[in-house]
């Protein structure tokens, strides 16, 4: 049964079935939640203390190029993972783009998307929920202001798992229907 409601985007060439407006909005908010912490890590990689003491920054980044490269790679991986949420509301989450050799144009099985998405919900919940308690944990390598700053920078990531769960459920329902 098709939902005929103003809260649903009309069928288009973008997705096989209509996507609820709220799901589109939420999917586009997720990468923005990850952006502050990603930018903060890139700043650390560039040598900015950003809340760490001099010794704390040295301990975190290390003396070789691997520390900064790790922080930049982690930031890029975090943003890429967050951007995958958009695939749950776009056609490229339902059909392999035509430009991909051998697979282009094929329908992506629903479980090939929902199983990793639900796995991601679990991993994100385990990874980011402890940041609700950030201020209760000691951080000897950080300044008092830095602890406060980092707490607020990472706090939005706590919402990533429940928002991904909501968009995944929407995708699952949309792709399972008649």
Q: Tokens 């060439």 label which residue?
A: 13
93 φ/ψ angles, rounded to the nearest 5 degrees: -95, -5
Q: What is the pLDDT of residue 26?
A: 97
Q: What is the pLDDT of residue 7?
A: 54
Q: What is the pLDDT of residue 114?
A: 96
Per-residue model confidence as pLDDT tens digits over 103-159: 888 999 999 999 999 999 999 999 999 888 887 777 888 888 888 888 899 999 999
DSSP code per residue over 84-110: GGGGGGSGGGTB--TTSTTTTTPBPPH
How many other CB atoms are found less than 10 A from the CB of residue 173? 12
Residue 169, helix vs strand vs coil: helix
How many other CB atoms are found less than 10 A from the CB of residue 122? 11
Closest CA relative to residue 51, chosen from 144, 146, 134, 141: 146
Q: What is the pLDDT of residue 86?
A: 97
pLDDT band for 178, please (50, 70, 90 cuts). low
Is residue 63's pLDDT more than 90? no
Report how far residue 92's alpha carbon sits from residue 134's, in angstroms, rounded to the nearest whole number.
37
To the nearest whole number, what is the mean pLDDT of the chain? 88
Report how far residue 164's alpha carbon sits from residue 14's, in angstroms, rounded to the nearest whole number.
20
Is residue 163's pLDDT more than 80? yes
Q: What is the pLDDT of residue 21?
A: 96
Q: How far is CA 109 from CA 2, 113, 167, in A?
A: 21, 7, 17
């Amino acid at each position: 049964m098709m939902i005929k409601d103003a809260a649903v985007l009309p069928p288009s060439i973008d997705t096989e079935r209509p996507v609820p407006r709220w799901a589109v909005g939420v999917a586009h908010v997720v990468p923005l939640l990850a952006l502050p912490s990603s930018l903060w890590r890139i700043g650390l990689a560039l040598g900015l203390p950003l809340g760490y003491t001099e010794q704390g920054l040295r301990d975190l980044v290390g003396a070789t190029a691997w520390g900064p490269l790790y922080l930049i790679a982690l930031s890029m991986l975090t943003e890429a993972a967050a951007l995958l949420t958009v695939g749950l509301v776009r056609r490229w989450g339902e059909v392999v783009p035509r430009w991909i050799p051998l697979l282009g144009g094929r329908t992506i099985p629903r479980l090939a998307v929902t199983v990793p998405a639900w796995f991601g919900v679990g991993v994100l919940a385990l990874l980011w929920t402890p940041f609700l308690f950030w201020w209760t944990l000691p951080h000897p390598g950080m300044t008092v202001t830095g602890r406060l700053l980092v707490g607020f920078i990472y706090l939005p990531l706590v919402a990533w798992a429940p928002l991904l769960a909501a968009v995944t459920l929407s995708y699952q329902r949309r792709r399972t229907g008649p």
